A and B are shown apart, each in its own frame.
Chain A
Amino acid sequence: MEKTYYDPADLKKFGDVADFQPELAKKFFDYYGDVFKDGALTSREKSLIALAVAHAVQCPYCIDAYTSDSLEKGATEQQMMEAVHVTTAIRGGASLVHGVQMMNKVKKLSM
């Protein structure tokens, strides 16, 4: 076994997941490819969303891949950092909004 959970070289082996289950992998990768095509959103907008989500799910492979992809799509460094701040705002907000639940409980319990 590897001594670390993550190896950058594994990113290139992503397609190998088909070795154990080809049909589902094919469905997934076809879908994946279609998702990132230009649509109502441009491929650059999608890349920036992917970059933001990569930070939310804290996937080092995805951060690596969508940093390069965002640069290739012509995103600015400012846009990329703003995408990460969107992640941070939603993650932080998701915790903080539960403060309302806490307040509700406090109010219920308190005289």
Chain B
Amino acid sequence: MIKTLKSRNHTLASGQEQLKFLSNGIFGDDKLPTFRKKIEALDEFPLKPASIEIFQVNVGYMCNQVCKHCHVDAGPDRKEVMSRETMEVCLDIMSKTQIHTLDLTGGAPEMNPDFRWFVEEANKAGVQEIIVRSNLTIILANPKYRDLPKFFKKNKVRVVSSLPFYQPDKTDRQRGEGVFAKSIEALQMLNAAGYGKEGSGLYLDLVYNPGGAFLPGNQLELERDFKKELKNHYDIEFNSLFTITNLPISRFLDFLVRTENYEEYMEKLVGSFNPAAVKGVMCRNTISVDYDGHMYDCDFNQMLGLKVDQKAGQHICDFDLEKLENRHIAISQHCYGCTAGAGSSCQGTVA
């Protein structure tokens, strides 16, 4: 298992250092236009939100896996974890607003000791949709997690799981040795609980991200391939496939730099800039919350330490929907990842 950037005291473990890196070099010497310049030309600067529909809560950075591309730099050594008190504030906000989706992420969100409590309380509070971003292998990581499919089913949680390819080699190279086999077993357990089965009302979506310095292909074509291959080889069914572009931050940024792919990858992102994708970027309908209750425009900005506009209130204790819906979204060059090609978000393509 590889080590987190944080445990290695790597320069790129710091959000500030990453932002510095992204603003210098090819973007500092005007070889490539900054994201700000690019959206200024479209009259989209400052970037502003539409209405907030999704509360994406990162309940902690601890994870049983250490994936090579992880933008969270998650791993078993990460100790940041959301407390029940912070979860209570999140629930309070959701019950007082029209925000319809609670999107739980991490790390492995299931490793938070109050994860199940949070999900049950969100259900009691009448949250319309609860999403858990599960890495799948957590279900098999410890006997105490084996009943997660049943728990998800009981609480009508929508499960969104990463599976970068329908074959073992590419998946294991990105997510760790043996991850593919365990993911397949976990998917079969979810299917057995009714997830991904037509008419069950239990949704199971998969997330594809490229296994290197290239962009994702056509979402529908990849979904068709995944459905065919997973059904034929493992009798697995799922609902939708979301393609997500790897954003140049954290461990993926480290990979790009180490392998001398950074400049070419950024050129590709900038060259594939799609103005139509700017309209649909997820920061326009999402608020990201960290384990400590601070708010960000997205999970990527969270990892870079780029909190929401100070004037909008930066902590959930100061939550003010009107101010947040009128804020200016914080941007940097990593935003090119969400506007390349068909666009990218936690719900897949946007254009």
Interface set of A (CB-CB < 8 Å, partner B): 12, 42-44, 68, 71-74, 76-77
B215 touches A12 (CB 8 A): no
A71 touches B210 (CB 8 A): yes
Q: Which chain B residues lie closer than 8 Å to A71 at the CB level?
A: 210-212, 214
Given contacts A72-B216, A76-B167, 15 further A-B contacts (CB under 8 A): A12-B271, A42-B221, A43-B218, A68-B214, A71-B210, A71-B214, A72-B210, A72-B214, A72-B215, A73-B217, A73-B221, A74-B221, A76-B170, A77-B169, A77-B170
Chain B: which residue is nearest A8 at the CB level?
B264
Chain B: which residue is nearest A44 at the CB level?
B221
Chain B: which residue is nearest A73 at the CB level?
B217
Q: Contacts A72-B210, A76-B167; is A43 near B215 (CB within 8 Å)?
A: no
Interface set of B (CB-CB < 8 Å, partner A): 167, 169-170, 210-212, 214-218, 221-222, 225, 267, 271
Q: Which chain A residues lie closer than 8 Å to B221 at the CB level?
A: 42-44, 73-74
Between A and B, 11 residue pairs with Cβ closer than 8 Å are: A12-B267, A42-B221, A71-B212, A72-B214, A72-B216, A74-B217, A74-B222, A76-B167, A76-B170, A77-B169, A77-B170
Q: What's the Cα separation between A43 and B220 when bound, in Å?
A: 12
Q: Which chain A residues lie closer than 8 Å to B214 at the CB level?
A: 68, 71-72
> Smallest CB–CB gap between B20 and chain A, Å?
26
Residue among B170, B218, B222, B271 facing the most chain A CB atoms (10 A cut-off)? B218
B217 touches A44 (CB 8 A): yes
Q: What's the Cα separation between A42 and B217 when bound, in Å?
A: 12
> Smallest CB–CB gap between A51 and chain B, Å?
14
Q: What's the Cα separation between A77 and B167 when bound, in Å?
A: 11
Q: Which chain A residues lie closer than 8 Å to B167 at the CB level?
A: 76
Q: What's the Cα separation between A72 and B218 when bound, in Å?
A: 8
> Smallest CB–CB gap between A92 and chain B, Å?
28
Q: Which chain A residues lie closer than 8 Å to B212 at the CB level?
A: 71
Q: Which chain B residues lie closer than 8 Å to A76 at the CB level?
A: 167, 170
Q: Which chain A residues lie closer than 8 Å to B210 at the CB level?
A: 71-72
Q: Which chain B residues lie closer than 8 Å to A68 at the CB level?
A: 214
Q: What's the Cα separation between A68 and B211 when bound, in Å?
A: 11
Q: Which chain B residues lie closer than 8 Å to A43 at the CB level?
A: 218, 221
Q: What's the Cα separation between A72 and B271 when bound, in Å?
A: 15
Q: Which chain B residues lie closer than 8 Å to A74 at the CB level?
A: 217, 221-222, 225
Q: Which chain B residues lie closer than 8 Å to A73 at the CB level?
A: 217-218, 221
Q: What's the Cα separation between A76 and B217 when bound, in Å?
A: 13
Q: What's the Cα separation between A12 and B266 when bound, in Å?
A: 13
Chain A: which residue is nearest B226 at the CB level?
A74
Q: What's the Cα separation between A73 and B211 when bound, in Å?
A: 12
Q: What's the Cα separation between A68 and B216 when bound, in Å?
A: 10
3 pairs of A and B residues whose beta carbons are closest in the complex:
A73-B217, A72-B217, A71-B214
Q: Which chain A residues lie closer than 8 Å to B225 at the CB level?
A: 74
Q: Which chain A residues lie closer than 8 Å to B211 at the CB level?
A: 71
Q: What's the Cα separation between A65 and B135 when bound, in Å?
A: 32
Q: Which chain A residues lie closer than 8 Å to B222 at the CB level?
A: 74
Q: What's the Cα separation between A73 and B212 when bound, in Å?
A: 13
Q: What's the Cα separation between A12 and B268 when bound, in Å?
A: 10
> Smallest CB–CB gap between A8 and chain B, Å?
9
> Smallest CB–CB gap between B231 and chain A, Å?
16
> Smallest CB–CB gap between A34 and chain B, Å?
17
Chain B: which residue is nearest A72 at the CB level?
B217
Q: Which chain B residues lie closer than 8 Å to A44 at the CB level?
A: 217, 221
Q: What's the Cα separation between A108 and B78 when bound, in Å?
A: 81
Residue among A42, A68, A71, A76 facing the most chain B CB atoms (10 A cut-off)? A71
> Smallest CB–CB gap between B45 and chain A, Å?
26
Q: What's the Cα separation between A73 and B214 when bound, in Å?
A: 10
